[in-house]
Structures are given as structure tokens and as C-alpha cells.
Structure 1
Amino acid sequence: MSQAAQNCSRSPSEISLLAVSKTKPISDIIAAYQAGQRRFGENYVQEGETKITALADDYPDIEWHFIGPLQSNKTKIVAEHFDWMHTVSRDKIAQRLNDQRPTNKPPLNVCIQVNISQEDSKSGVNVNDAATLAGVISQLPNLKLRGLMAIPTATDDIRIQQQEFASLKSLYDQLQQQHPSIDTLSMGMSGDLDIAIANGSTMVRIGSAIFGER
């Protein structure tokens, strides 16, 4: 990450590492924590809840991010246990997270998932609808709009990666002018973090490069 930042004349301090710990045992999370890692991402609601509950007493400073698809009947678990939610793409989900966020917790940090590749199989809001959803989220008192997240096309074609990351960065810059709370561009994974960082990512989601393949 530091090398990638230096290659594009950015400060490494501008980019956060989110360790994607889905399907990994709690012992792996503890090992990463002892190495200095504090932000962890989970894709599955029940698995994430189990890990958060198990580690809450001994590791209260872990920051938990939900980065997977979320069904409306499971929003309560995310609202009650997680610190961040990266995959909001519908008004209904945003409203439920807001209504179910406990009053003794700070607002849930939220990123809008954008379907930047425009693939039918991908979750996320259409680029043209992101501003409307951002407006809805910004009015919900128990949510804090933090930025955008995307999963690009699974390809080794650097031109496609570049185009999609640049498109998301452009949208991010536009929305940031309207919503000062926006400060997070969640894009880039183990295989494409260099190009993501070159295109302005502020948070990379890394799983296999830290924990090994599933």
C-alpha cells in the first residue's frame, strides 16, 4: 500500500487498510490485531455477529465493517453490531438501518455501493441514481454518509479497471461537493489495489493477501 501510494505521489496516511476476515477463524483476527490491524470487514451477517460478540470484551477498539449483500430481514443485526455498512444501495435498507440503530451508539457510518461495472449480476445503485440515494441517507439522523464503495469488473484488463475506478472517483468528487461528510472511497482489493490507489481510493479491502486464500 505504501509503495502504491508513493508511485502516484500520495501519502500512505491517506489510505486505510480494511482486513477482510470473512470465513476466517477468530484466531486469525486476533493475530492481525496483535500485528496492529484494527479495521475488519465481514460479508455474512451471522458470522460477523458471532465474531463481534466473541471479541467485544477483550478487543473493544476493533472497528467492524459490513461489506456483503444485506437482505432487509437482517438489517437489525448490522444496525446493532457494526460500525460501518459499505453496501447500501436502496432507500428501504437505509431507512431500516436508521430505524434499528440503537440510541446509545453513534450513527452508523454508511457507504453507498455503486454498480460501477453496470453488470446485471452485481449489486449496487446505478451511477445516475447515487445522488438521490445520498440525499436520502444524509437526512437520516442515525446514519452518517461517508462515501462510496464498488466492486469492479473481475478482469485483468487494466484499461477496464482504470475506466471504472476513474468513473467512481469522479462520482465521489461530485457528491463530496454536496455532502461534506463524505471522505471515504472504498475500492481496491488484493488483486487491484495499486490501480485503485492511483485513482484515489481511501480504503482498500484486502482479504487473501493478509489471511491467505479461502
Structure 2
Amino acid sequence: MTSQPAAAQAVTTEDFSRNLATVNQKIAEAASRSGRQASAVRLLPVTKTIEPERLRLAIEAGVQTLGENKVQEALAKSEEFASEYPTLRYAVIGPLQANKAKFVARFAHEFHALDSLKLAQTLQRRLELEERTLEVFIQVNTSGEDSKSGIAAGEVAELLEAIAPLDRLVPRGLMTMAANTTDESTIRASFALLRTTLEELRDSGAPEGFDQLSMGMSGDFELAIEEGATVVRVGQGIFGARSYPQASA
């Protein structure tokens, strides 16, 4: 990924307000460079590993959605905040084991890592029991790296058609993680492939509302916006450096 210094550790509401303003300004500038309005890009805060006490400060500063990749951690937060912040939204952004689909169906509003019909069918059954719907993003491996989850770009149309009868799933778009490199042209290529894949799907009759590109993290979200991102997943830019070295969202 491209290298950008993490924001200063946010420990007060004022810190979070300042960091959010900085990220939103970068979003606006990148959107402008791509000929779009800042309102065309949604900031999805990545809140994994962040304790509830700090999250409360971030919510008071304006965070409205929590992006999580640890399902049980996210479930615990949703239960803790249920009465305090009833309008808070939850987005699961990491790979999901089928045996945890029941939890996602219970609390999540968005799932950014759908990569198989089997998982979609499991979610459908669980959502029926919960009498809920779930917005889903199909994860595409645009870098070709074995370490990345997701299906190949050429397989998306088939999966999208297969999940069409699953009425509890609301397909919203595609998601990817860029190539793990510092080479900007390679990173851009990952994002551009996702954009062109979505364009081709829309030209061939994708469902109404299937128009979102979830791509870009703290180190590369500006490049992602320039390549067409409509959702950027930012954690360190808002919360500061995490407590473990491998995090980059």
C-alpha cells in the first residue's frame, strides 16, 4: 500500500472531530480531482479493535457507521450501543465463516465481503429468521494475490445472477483491496479493474441500485476515489495507529 502517516491518536471528541475533518477534506479534494462532488463518496469508519469508550467519543464527533471485521466483537458493540445509539449502523467488512452468518444477520446493515453463493444462501436463511435484509457488496480479488479473498472479476456476473432470487440480500456493488505494494500504478490498476467490472455489469443489466464501489483504505483512499470509489474504508486516519502492526485499514 502507499505509505501515509497515521493520524494522531484520538482520545477526545475534539481529536475525532479534527481527524474526521482532515479525512473529509482529503475526500473532497480527491473527488474534485476526479470530477465529482464530495457527496458522491461515503466515508466508512473502520472501528475494529477500538474499545467502546473511544467509540462513544467518535460517535459524538459524527461517526454514524461502525466498520468491523471481527463478527463477535461487532455483535458485542451492537448490543452495548443498542439503546444508547439506536440509529447506529454496522458494516461487516472482512471474510465471514458460515457459522457466524447468524450473528451478521442479527445486527449488520452492510456486508462488504460476499464471495460465494453458498455464503449468500446461508445469509438468506438467517435473515429470513431475523426478518431483516442486508446490503451486500461482492468482494473481487483485483490484484490476483493468493493472500486476498474474493472472486475473480470474470466470475462476478455469474454470482450476481445466482443471488438474484435471494430477496433478503440487497446487492449494492463491489468491494476490493488493492495490491499490497507501494507502486502507485499497480494500486490504481486494482481499483480501475473494479470500476470497469462494475461498468460492464451495469451495461449488461445489473440490479437497480447496484452502483457502489467499496475500495480504498487509510493508505490509498485518495487514489481509490480518483479511480471511482464511492465508499472508502478508513480507520487509522480517524482513530490513529492501531495497537498491532499489520493493520492498514
Quick one: which of 159, 168, 174 aligns to 2:194? 168
Identify the residue that residue 67 of structure 2 maps to in structure 1: 41
Distance 2:82 2:28 in 1: 30
Normalized against structure 2, the TM-score is what? 0.83
Normalized against structure 1, the TM-score is what? 0.96
Tell me, yes or no, if the aligned pair for 1:42 and 1:66 is still in contact at 8 Å: yes
Deviation at 1:69? Answer: 1.1
Higher RCO, 1 or 2 (CA under 8 Å, sep at least 6)? 2
The percent of aligned pairs where both chains have the same amino acid is: 40
After superposition, residues 38-77 of structure 1 pair within 5 angstroms as 38-77=64-103
Structure 2 residue runs of 5 or longer lacking an equivalent are 1-26, 243-249
Give the letter for the 1:198 counterpart.
E
Q: How many residues align?
A: 214
Identify the residue that residue 143 of structure 2 maps to in structure 1: 117
Deviation at 1:138? Answer: 2.1
Deviation at 1:102? Answer: 4.5
Give the letter for the 1:125 counterpart.
I
Quick one: which of 186, 189, 210 aligns to 2:214? 186
Give the letter for the 1:172 counterpart.
L
Deviation at 1:80? Answer: 1.3
Quick one: which of 201, 221, 225 aligns to 1:197? 225
Identify the residue that residue 245 of structure 2 maps to in structure 1: none
SS at structure 2 position matched to 1:51: helix
Quick one: which of 20, 29, 33 aligns to 1:7? 33
Distance 2:175 2:152 in 1: 12
After superposition, residues 141-180 of structure 1 pair within 5 angstroms as 141-177=167-203, 178-179=205-206, 180=208
Structure 1 residue runs of 5 or longer lacking an equivalent are none
Deviation at 1:183? Answer: 2.3
1:27 to 2:22 alignment = no
SS at structure 2 position matched to 1:101: helix
1:207 to 2:235 alignment = yes
Deviates more, 1:116-125 or 1:97-106: 97-106
Deviation at 1:181? Answer: 2.3
Structure 1 residue ranges (4+ consecutive) displaced by more than 6 angstroms after TM superposition: none
Deviation at 1:135? Answer: 1.0
Tell me, yes or no, if the aligned pair for 2:31 and 2:37 is still in contact at 8 Å: yes
Distance 1:103 1:202 in 2: 31
Give the letter for the 2:169 counterpart.
L
Tell me, yes or no, if the aligned pair for 1:137 and 1:144 is still in contact at 8 Å: no
**C-alpha spacing 1:79/1:104, structure 2 compared with 1 (3 Å):** closer
Deviation at 1:106? Answer: 4.1
1:128 to 2:154 alignment = yes
Tell me, yes or no, if the aligned pair for 1:115 and 1:150 is still in contact at 8 Å: yes
